Structure 1
Amino acid sequence: MRRELRLRHRLDFQKLRQSGQPFRNKDMMLQITPNSLGHNRYGIIVSKRLGNAVQRNRIRRQLKAILTQRHPQLLQGYDTVWIARQSCTGKPHGALLRIVDDLLHQAAIVDRTHNS
């Protein structure tokens, strides 16, 4: 994921946690707020409660790959934080893809005019 598409600063995460609109399912939570940049930025939170470093990094890598793939299909101008829950551990890539797609549709940021 390109650097300009990542949330990297603690203050950005705190702002989103406090004022972002939440969308949830049993496996993940998405918090979203508009930004003034003209492109989306993504942050991923994977708690230490989810398992060892290998499991946490696996979830993080899969989410980065899914968000990079979905980025062109989304409406732009949002900051998003993706918070993985315990039930995410051990899920295959396809299951995480369905979870992310479900939350993106809940948040209504999928660009329906995009043909891919």
Structure 2
Amino acid sequence: MMGMFGFTKSSRLLSRNQFEHVYTNGATFHRGPIRIHMVENMLEHNRLGLSVPRRAGNAVRRNRIKRLLREAFRLIPDPPVQGYDLVVTVRQHAPFSTEHYQSLLTEALAKTCR
């Protein structure tokens, strides 16, 4: 049982159409091997979608990167803005710490405030 702190279904982008909407209509933020696409979603909370291609590493590495990104998204204490869909695309790299991913996501959200 995940409890109240889990990464709920309402916090995720689930369908291909949702991902395509973010890719075609969203702004893009680059930092190192991470690319973040963002678009407003008309909801009161942010949602996250992850795209980690095979060239990012073997299954163990890809899953670790996804786990760390989900946890970083979940742990953002007070997001600078609410109501955005984010799709994080990753290139090949050694997994960063949760704190590093968290700072990248926070920085991307803060850029939308400017």
TM class by smaller structure:
0.7 to 0.9
Q: Is contact 1:45-1:84 (8 Å) kept?
A: yes
The aligned residue for residue 4 of structure 2 is none
Q: Is contact 1:40-1:79 (8 Å) kept?
A: yes
| TM-score normalised by the chain length of structure 2 | 0.82
1:93 is aligned to 2:97? yes
**TM alignment of 1:32-51, pairs within 5 A:** 32-51=38-57
Q: Is contact 1:25-1:103 (8 Å) kept?
A: no
Gaps in structure 1 of 5+ consecutive residues = 112-116
Moved beyond 6 Å, runs of 4+: none
C-alpha distance after superposition, 1:10-34 (max 9, x if no partner): 0000011111100001120111011
Counterpart Cα distance in 1 of 2:55 and 2:112: 31
Residue 65 and residue 110 in structure 1: after superposition, are their counterparts in 2 closer, same or farther (change >3 A)? farther
Gaps in structure 2 of 5+ consecutive residues = 1-6
Counterpart Cα distance in 2 of 1:55 and 1:99: 15
Counterpart Cα distance in 2 of 1:21 and 1:92: 23
Identity of aligned residues (%): 32
Give the SS at the match of 1:65. helix
**TM alignment of 1:1-116, pairs within 5 A:** 1-70=7-76, 72-74=77-79, 75-87=81-93, 90-94=94-98, 97-108=99-110
Residue 99 and residue 64 in structure 1: after superposition, are their counterparts in 2 closer, same or farther (change >3 A)? closer
Query: Displacement, 1:110?
Result: 8.8
Query: Displacement, 1:103?
Result: 4.6
Q: Is contact 2:36-2:88 (8 Å) kept?
A: yes
| Alignment length (residue pairs) | 106
Q: Is contact 2:52-2:66 (8 Å) kept?
A: yes
Q: Which amino acid aligns with 1:102?
A: L
